[in-house]
Amino acid sequence: MQKLSEFIEGEVYYRITFPDVELKIPLMESFVFIGINLSEEDKDNTWYFQFAEGYAKDGSILETEGGDRKTRCLGCAELGEMLDIDGLTKELQGAKKRREK
């Protein structure tokens, strides 16, 4: 799990979910971290992650107009969902071990 201060703007982070109760089949989403508290409406700290596909195709929503503007906004309690490459690797290895049993 990432520490709050360790999210780096422009870096890629991943979110893993499992559709099965045995946690054997991972589904993955990729995001690019774009910043904290980017809206005047943010009352509590809010971390912004742009979907990686839109970021790769159209650039950061902070620097471009148009294109895919989808983001995922997370509060402090939800940040554990976002993994760096090391966290992703551990989750995938865990799923593999569970499938092998």
**Alpha-carbon dihedral 65, 47, 80, 60, rounded to 10 degrees:** 20
27-36 vs 12-17, strand pairing mode: antiparallel
Give pLDDT, residue 41: 87
Smallest CA-to-CA distance from 100 within 24, 28, 19, 34 is with: 24
- Number of helices followed by number of strands (H, E) in the chain: 2, 5
Residue 77 DSSP class: G
Q: Is residue 3 over pLDDT 60?
A: no
**What is residue 67's predicted lDDT score, i.e. its pLDDT?**
66
Q: How confident is the model at residue 31 (pLDDT cuts 50, 70, 90)?
A: very high
pLDDT digits (tens, 9 = 90+) for 35-78: 999 988 888 899 999 999 999 999 999 987 776 679 999 999 99
Domains, the chain, ordered by start:
4-96 (2.30.30)
Give residue 83's pLDDT.
96
pTM of the model: 0.86
Q: How far apart are CA 38 and CA 14, in angstroms?
A: 20
- Position of tokens 């912004």? 48
